[in-house]
A and B are shown apart, each in its own frame.
Chain A
Amino acid sequence: MSLDMYAENIMDHFNSPRNKGEVKDPEIKHKEFNPFCGDQIEVTVKLKNKKEIVEIKFQGSGCSISQASASMLTELVKNKTTEEVKKLTKEDILDLLNIPIGPVRMKCALLALDTLQNGIKVYEKYGKHKEK
């Protein structure tokens, strides 16, 4: 693994994450963990017409790759539909990060996308998130 991983844009998103926090009264609220390194990410999403992402925020903790990719993902998916987000792939995230990611760090890189896509699945099955 080379130091390219700590490229300027990664460190920028890690040190100054975009859309960090929690959306009020979200349609989607979903949290996932990466047990391998203890990364955790929770996304909250406000939808318009049950499908358009008008607001998205994330919170969590973990390594620079997991947190930077979450920050970048929130920028990418704003104003996209849930259908479009469901179609996003591993390659889309790797393009976004634009650094070499080895097999070990892949889980960190994909945690945010997994969290968002699984959150959409939960929403489609059970409807709007309810606070317990």
Chain B
Amino acid sequence: MTIKISAEKIREDFPILKRKINGKKLVYLDNAATSQKPKQVIGAIKYFYENHNANIHRGIHQLSEEATDAFEKAREKVAKFINAKPEQIIFTKNTTESINTVAYSYGLKIKSSDEILTTVMEHHSNFLPWQMVSQRTGAKLKIADIEDDGTLKIKEVESLSSKKTKLTAVTHVSNVLGTINPVKEIGKIAKENNSLFLVDGAQAAPHIPVDMKDIGCDFYAFSSHKMLGPTGVGVLYVKDPENLDPFLVGGGTIKEVFLDKEAVWQDPPWKFEGGTPDISGVIGFGATIDYLNKIGMENIRKHEETLTKYALEQLAKVKNISIYGPRNTKVKGGVIAFNIGQIHPHDVAAILDSEGIAVRPGHACCKPLMSRLDILAMCRASFYVYNTEEDVDALVSGLEKVNKVFKK
């Protein structure tokens, strides 16, 4: 059911949004870097430490049982959230670690005659692991280009795919262009070629409904901290975890250990979670899922789509602005990358900061994409459920101030 979100009411749950920055109301538009946390999530972490803190899967004592139970309940919530089974959910520390897990557990087994396919719009964390695999195994890394409007060249994904492709790694939503890639369609191309399919969902899972069965991917990676949850918790969904070898071995990953032969690994997902995980973080993430479900992912998407549309209209009025990425909000998440004439993004961001507005300047960990767009850097404004049209208006007047300061 789609209802209109009251961002004003939602804002009341976020203590940090009451802060003043340089004497001005905080306008937080750096959500693609990390999101703010509602008091329900902060409270859940505090409650755990004050009432149930113990290591998990270890002790027999009451606290350990309570902690284990809360931890595994959070896993069930995450699984349900993306329409998966709990044993398919591996907790890592972030999206980067999730993708590296696949690179080390599966990628390094790829042969030198094989190929890996990715795109030019990837974040470094879905590019460098495959470059590393390619360098170590000799497998060829193929890179699909984008159209000038910032959408992916699907035809190129198709033509670069072959029976040699052993892994297709694509972002669901670009952290710069905001492009929502047709992952279902890409998954079909991968499947036709018998390639495994990995989706970087870091910018998607927080903002749009995601369904593992519908997408049909083999791996899906995302982070708690970009979706109102605590830092330190990432997720790797693995469709068939039984057949994947563990990457981080150690405490908690085994059934039996021998002096002279390979250990017998735990069942998934535990064989992948070596060492004590971020227990309070995972439990806080469970509370985050409850919070997101209460609002509804469809509603969040609708709110951001409306806001992005408004922002694109308003920003177009700013003098000397160049906006990168699709204009059609049907295929664009709440991410807008831009430059103001030749003014360096750091200067733009610094002047916006003096107005209490937080945006991200730089290459946003997308150097290949910066080269493709033929720019050194850009500014990025990214929205979430608590952002309002008022925030967009503040950004627009902040940018007018930038133009004023840099007027020669």
Within A1-40, the residues touching B (CB, 8 Å) are 1-3, 5-6, 11, 15, 36-39
Secondary structure at chain A's binding surface: helix, strand, loop or mixed?
Answer: mixed
CB of B408 closer than 8 Å to a CB of A:
yes
Docked complex Cα distance between A15 and B408 (Å): 7
Interface of chain A residues 60 through 108 with chain B (CB within 8 A): 61-65, 105, 108
Write the nearest CB–CB distance from B406 to chain A, whole angstroms.
8
Give Cα distance in the complex from A105 to B363, angstroms. Answer: 16
Chain B interface size, as a band, is: 10 to 19
A38 CA to B22 CA, complexed, in Å = 26
Q: Is the CB of B344 within 8 A of A62?
A: yes
**How far in angstroms is the closest Cβ of chain A from B383?**
23
B405 CB contact (under 8 Å) in A3, A38, A61, A63: A3
Q: Are A64 and B22 in contact (CB under 8 A)?
A: no
Specify which of B353, B362, B405, B408 is in contact with A37 (CB 8 Å cutoff): B362
Bound-state CA distance A64–B362 (Å) is 14
The answer to whether the Cβ of B107 comes within 8 Å of any Cβ in the partner chain is: no
In the A-B complex, the 10 residue pairs with the smallest Cβ-Cβ separation, listed nearest first, are A63-B344, A38-B376, A63-B346, A38-B377, A37-B346, A3-B354, A1-B353, A64-B347, A63-B347, A6-B405
Give A residues with C-beta under 8 Å from B. 1-3, 5-6, 11, 15, 36-39, 61-65, 105, 108
A-B contacts, 13 listed (Cβ < 8 Å) = A1-B22, A3-B405, A6-B347, A6-B351, A15-B408, A37-B346, A37-B377, A38-B370, A38-B376, A38-B377, A61-B344, A62-B346, A65-B347
Given contacts A37-B346, A37-B361, 14 further A-B contacts (CB under 8 A): A5-B354, A6-B347, A38-B363, A38-B370, A38-B376, A39-B346, A61-B376, A62-B344, A63-B344, A63-B345, A63-B350, A64-B344, A105-B350, A108-B346
